[in-house]
Amino acid sequence: MYDEDAVRDARLVHQLRRGGYLLEQISPLIAQVRAADGLEPLETALRDWHGRLSARGRAMLTGAAELEAYLRERVRSDEREALGGDR
C-alpha cells in the first residue's frame, strides 16, 4: 500500500486543489514539506500565513461594509437632491 508520507502528500494536494491552487503552485510546497520531513516543522509558518490570510479577509470585509455604507448614503443623497433638496 501507500506509506504515511504518500497519504499525507495526497491529502495535502487534494485540499490545495480544492482551494483552487494549480499543480505548478503545489509542487514546490510538497517538495518543502518533504524536505522538512513533514508539516510539523512548517507549522509556525503555516500558522503565521493563516493569521495574515484571516486578517486580510477581515480587512476586505470591513472595507466592503464601509463601501456599502458610503454608496447607500450617496444614493439617499442623490434621491433627496432629485426630490428638490434636503428633507
Which three-class secondary structure state does DSSP give residue 62? helix
Whether residues 47 and 34 fall in one domain:
no
Percent of the chain as helix, strand, coil, to the nearest 5? 80, 0, 20
pLDDT above 70: residue 37: yes
Half-sphere exposure (Cβ direction) of 46: Cα atoms closer than 13 Å: 11
Same domain, 4 and 25: yes
For residues 19 and 47, state if they share a domain: no
Regarding whether 47 and 87 lie in a shared domain, the answer is yes
- In terms of domains, do 5 and 26 share one? yes
Are 85 and 47 in a shared domain? yes
pLDDT in tens, 38-86: 888 888 888 888 899 999 999 999 999 999 999 999 999 999 999 886 5
Measured between alpha carbons, how far is 16 from 18 in angstroms, rounded to an integer? 5
Q: Are residues 27 and 55 in the same domain?
A: no
Q: Is the pTM of this model over 0.95?
A: no
